[in-house]
Amino acid sequence: MAVSTGAQIGDALRAVVGAANVLESAEEREYYSWDLSQEPLAVAEVVARPGSAEEIAAVVRVAHEAGIPVVPRGGGISYTQGFEPASGAVVLIDTTRMTRVDVNVEDLYVVADVGVTWEELYLATSAEGVRTPYFGPLSGRFATVGGTLSQNSLFYGSGVYGTAADCTIGLEVVGAGGTVVRTGSWAHRNGSPFTRYYGPDLTGLFLADTGALGVKSRAAIRLIELPLVNEAISFAFDTFAGANAAMAEMARLQVAAELFIFDPANHAIYRKLGFSFLEGVEWSLHASVEGSDETLVDAQVALLRGIAGRTGREIDPSLPLAMRADPFGGGLRGFVGTEGHVRLPVHGVFPFSKVEAAQAAAAALVESRRAVIELHDLRVTYLTAVSAGFVVFEPVVWWPDSIGPYRARHAPADMVEQFGSAPPNLEARAAGTALRREFATMFSAMGGTHLQVGKWYPFRESVESATFETLGAIKGALDPRRLVNPGSLGL
């Protein structure tokens, strides 16, 4: 069907994905258009829900012909305006109907549709005795492969294997006009997606682009043998500097799959959930070690214990063990604070040498904003986590507010019942979002970079102009009419 005006787009999309998969009610468009940031941009004109890579390509072609931008969305559990439309005249592409997973145990890769969640991917691969090396964010019950590779992400497995992008070996991407491009050995006419490098790294070009350069439809990710042994250790420290120094030394061994620090305010939350041994603990450092041989894992744990034990006090390791036992369950409590606060992370990615300074600067910023923090009942907690070779330092800013459409649909039922009808608190929201942006600006001034750039982090302002111009030229070549997620990455 030829489409000449925006008004006909709904009919053209229905012809491609079926009537049930085109959403036009105000409520659905708003739900799909707004992320968790509490900083909504526009509401999409229409939401299309393709069920296959072919349908993604057809949706993109329909929109391109009509001259209407497309914006891809995965699980929608992000908070940097990446999928929020810069203007309302867009087709929002929800990928969550796409859930096919093909596991190739012999060649050690999995091909997943972009709408597969990390929990689904873990279940499908572990049933075959394998796993992706990085195996998901804490939000992996909702976060999809497509959204996560477009943001880049770290947590489970990252201490040894790095980020989601580091573990990706091939992509299938639908370009602005609907052309399907494959990367790495997947692009070989007679090949398969078994290795990332075949000519220049086009896989890398599309990773972490927050959907600015194309709509991913499928991804090939490396597999490893499923580790059957998992052990954990935890240590208490009086200062962040002490915990951070031990963490850095442990990270050099690259044997801890997860290696992270919690702050005293986080401990207060976990104590309420039953982790009473955190009473009196200031900063805590946690490490998970995995493998297929118990003797080897024991030896690696002993090495880490030797480092942390020099300056820290060993405590019960139930926290990292509980996270491993239900990797994607705990994150859900992070939707809404226990007293009706929304929680919004902001982070800087730093080399080991700058983490202590970043934490000191964050503490000084919080101290200097003490009056406004107390006035609006703001809170700040901290998570510090290692990915192979670097550190993410993440303050989480809380404020009392209405919970918004995403949390209302997905937060645990008891939380929605308790806080679902809380009215908007615009003054606290202004103070909380301002503090979040102050953290981002400060980290950028210290040379920190960011995952999840979206339309929120100051990417354009922070990179050298020649670099941004090069990226702009690539965007111009791939999407000359600026019809793919306009505004993402500042493009």
Q: Out of 21, 99, 132, 139, which residue is the one contacting ligand FAD (CB under 6 A)?
A: 139
Least Å from the CB of residue 311 to ligand FAD: 27
- Mark the segment that binds ligand FAD (CB under 6 A) among 7-15, 72-80, 194-202, 316-324: 72-80
Name the token pair of 39: 């900083």
Report the site for ligand FAD in 458-487 (rule: CB under 6 A): 485
Query: Which burial class, exposed, middle or buried, applies to 29 when counting CB atoms under 10 A from its CB (0-12, 13-18, 19+)?
Result: buried
User: What is the rounded distance in angstroms from the CA atom of residue 82 to the CA atom of residue 2?
Assistant: 30
Among 77, 315, 380, 483, binds ligand FAD (CB under 6 A): 77
Q: How far is the CB of 12 from ligand FAD (least distance, A)?
A: 21
At residue 303's C-alpha, the angle toward residues 301 and 304, to 5°, is: 65
Residue 332's identity, in one-letter code, is L
- With binding defined as CB under 6 A, does residue 456 bind ligand FAD? no
Only segment of 15-23, 211-219, 255-263, 432-440 that touches ligand FAD (CB under 6 A) = 211-219
Q: How many angstroms separate the first and last alpha carbons of the chain? A: 30
Query: With binding defined as CB under 6 A, does residue 82 bind ligand FAD?
Result: yes
CB nearer ligand FAD, residue 171 or residue 223: 171
Element (H, E) at 288: strand 283-291
Distance of CA 359 to the CA centre of its chain: 22
Binding residue for ligand FAD (CB under 6 A) from 51, 76, 85, 193?
A: 76
Cβ atoms of 221 and 168 closer than 8 Å: yes
* Of residues 148 and 359, the one with the C-beta less far from ligand FAD: 148
Q: Examine residue 381 and tell whether it contacts ligand FAD (CB under 6 A).
A: no
Q: Read off the tokens for 382.
A: 């901290």
146 in contact with ligand FAD (CB under 6 A): yes
Q: Which of 37, 95, 266, 384 binds ligand FAD (CB under 6 A)?
A: 95
Q: Which of 143, 165, 396, 483 binds ligand FAD (CB under 6 A)?
A: 143
- Verify binding: residue 38, ligand FAD, rule CB under 6 A: no
Question: With contacts defined by CB under 6 A, how many residues of the chain interact with ligand FAD?
Answer: 38
Query: Is 83 among the residues that bind ligand FAD (CB under 6 A)?
Result: yes
162 binds ligand FAD (CB under 6 A): no
Indicate whether 99 belongs to the interface with ligand FAD (CB under 6 A). Answer: no
SS3 content of the chain, % helix, strand, coil (to 5): 40, 20, 35
> What residue spans of 202-348 are helical by DSSP H?
202-206, 240-253, 264-272, 294-311, 318-325
The H-assigned helical ranges of 18-80 are 26-33, 53-66
Mention every residue, 6+ apart, whose C-beta is less than 8 A from residue 224. 108, 130, 131, 132, 133, 161
Q: Where are the alpha helices (DSSP H) in 339-425?
A: 355-368, 370-375, 404-410, 413-419
Q: Does 150 bind ligand FAD (CB under 6 A)?
A: yes
Residues found near ligand FAD in the complex (CB under 6 A):
36, 71-78, 82-83, 95, 114, 137-139, 142-144, 146-148, 150-151, 153-155, 210-211, 215-216, 331, 334, 451-452, 454, 485, 488
